[in-house]
Amino acid sequence: MELWVLPIIIAVLVIWIFFSSIKIVPQAQAFVMERLGAYQGTWSVGFHIKVPFIDKVARRVNLKEQVADFPPQPVITKDNASVRIDTVVFYQITDPKLFTYGVENPMMAIENLTATTLRNIIGDLELDQTLTSREIINTKMRSALDIATDPWGIKVNRVELKNIIPPAEIQNAMEKQMKAERERREAVTRAEGEKKARILEAEGEKESAILRAEAEKKSAILRAEAQKEKMIREAEGEAEAILKVQQANADGIRMLREAGADEAVLKLKSLEAFERVADGQATTILLPAELQGIASLGAALKEGMK
């Protein structure tokens, strides 16, 4: 090997060691550092340089809130009903050092702790309470897990029961009960609908009868008013006709007087006026004694003229 190559190799090694000693910690992460196998410190976000061959990154810890979805766990209720419960745990690492050195496998520890805690809580509840007390179970689970995981540097923020699976026979009974309840509600809804329909129909018939009665009343009033108007107009027409006839007779007598007719002619004209007034409705006309001679004279004059 040439002597000039050795310095180049040494320079490359120095540069490589220098850059490998530079560490940049990203946001929401932390590096647990060890020096010669012992805990040296926890690096937070930023630029850091470690001592080559002495310091090493023992663990990269994610400080974000994380979700652990565990498979369904079989548990037994107080009334000896076997159910399977699927749980979801929301947790966050608050102390990277305790998380690294507190427990060998934190996720397995949380899963087993969740299963045992769930069995303890469900064992004090009956099946109906288990199905209807999710919030109570969630709160108890979170409190118990948070206390147990605190020495591991883990904070449990939330625990949710994702699913509660009862036994098959209980599921069938619940489905039958739900079906019966739905049918009952449908029957009640139909009965209420029919009742409302009957009420609306009765109200419609009542309204229709009222409208018909009002229409007949108005029609009768209009017919009576029309009949009344007709009778009034007929009476006015007859009165006007009689008045015109009398006026014409009066005008004729007045003209005869102006022409110098004697008293006998005037009485004869009055007799003709009586005849027109009778209008053929009577077969006998009673005349005063003094007018009978004039009537006979008038009849003779008519015959002579023929």
User: Is residue 58 domain-shared with residue 72, that is, in the same domain?
Assistant: no
Do the bridges between strand 38-43 and strand 29-35 make them parallel or antiparallel, or are there none, so unpaired? antiparallel
pLDDT band for position 275 (cuts 50, 70, 90): low
Count CB atoms within 10 A of the CB of residue 27: 9
**Boundary (domain end) residue, out of 23, 46, 62:** 62
Count of the separate structural domains present in the chain: 3
Average pLDDT over residues 102-130: 89
On whether residue 159 sits in a domain, the answer given is yes
pLDDT given for residue 268 in this prediction = 55
User: Is residue 147 domain-shared with residue 101, that is, in the same domain?
Assistant: yes
Among the residue ranges 45-49, 54-58, 238-242, 269-273, the one predicted with the least confidence is 269-273
Tell me how long the chain is: 306
User: Is residue 75 domain-shared with residue 127, that is, in the same domain?
Assistant: yes
User: Is residue 243 domain-shared with residue 295, that is, in the same domain?
Assistant: yes
User: Is residue 51 domain-shared with residue 139, that is, in the same domain?
Assistant: no
User: Is residue 281 domain-shared with residue 299, that is, in the same domain?
Assistant: yes
User: Is residue 76 domain-shared with residue 131, that is, in the same domain?
Assistant: yes
The residue among 146 and 294 whose pLDDT is bigger is 146
User: Is residue 48 domain-shared with residue 115, that is, in the same domain?
Assistant: no
pLDDT given for residue 243 in this prediction = 79
On whether residue 199 sits in a domain, the answer given is no
Q: What is the CATH number of the domain that holds 69?
A: 3.30.479.30
On whether residue 210 sits in a domain, the answer given is no
CA neighbor of 266 nearest in space, from 279, 249, 247, 241: 249
What is the Cα–Cα distance from 144 to 114, expressed in whole angstroms?
9
Write the single-letter amino acid at 194: E
Provide the 3-class DSSP secondary structure of residue 85.
strand
pLDDT given for residue 99 in this prediction = 92
On whether residue 192 sits in a domain, the answer given is no
Instruction: Assess contact for 8 and 1: CB atoms under 8 A.
Output: no
**Boundary (domain end) residue, out of 46, 62, 78:** 62
On whether residue 193 sits in a domain, the answer given is no
User: Is residue 114 domain-shared with residue 141, that is, in the same domain?
Assistant: yes
Task: Record the tokens describing residue 246, joined without a space.
Answer: 């009398």
Which sign, positive or negative, has the C-alpha torsion 271, 272, 278, 283? positive
User: Is residue 85 domain-shared with residue 140, that is, in the same domain?
Assistant: yes
User: Is residue 237 domain-shared with residue 292, that is, in the same domain?
Assistant: yes
| Residue indicated by tokens 């974000």 | 64
Provide the 3-class DSSP secondary structure of residue 53.
coil
pTM exceeds cut of 0.75:
no
User: Is residue 39 domain-shared with residue 84, that is, in the same domain?
Assistant: no
What is the Cα–Cα distance from 58 to 97, expressed in whole angstroms?
10
On whether residue 203 sits in a domain, the answer given is no
pLDDT band for position 220 (cuts 50, 70, 90): confident
**Parent domain of 287:** 226-305
What is the Cα–Cα distance from 295 to 264, expressed in whole angstroms?
10
On whether residue 113 sits in a domain, the answer given is yes
Over residues 21-64, the pLDDT tens digits come to 888 899 999 999 999 989 999 999 989 888 888 989 999 999 99
Query: At CA 208, angle to CA 203 and CA 211, rounded to 5?
Result: 125
On whether residue 174 sits in a domain, the answer given is no
**Boundary (domain end) residue, out of 44, 62, 80:** 62
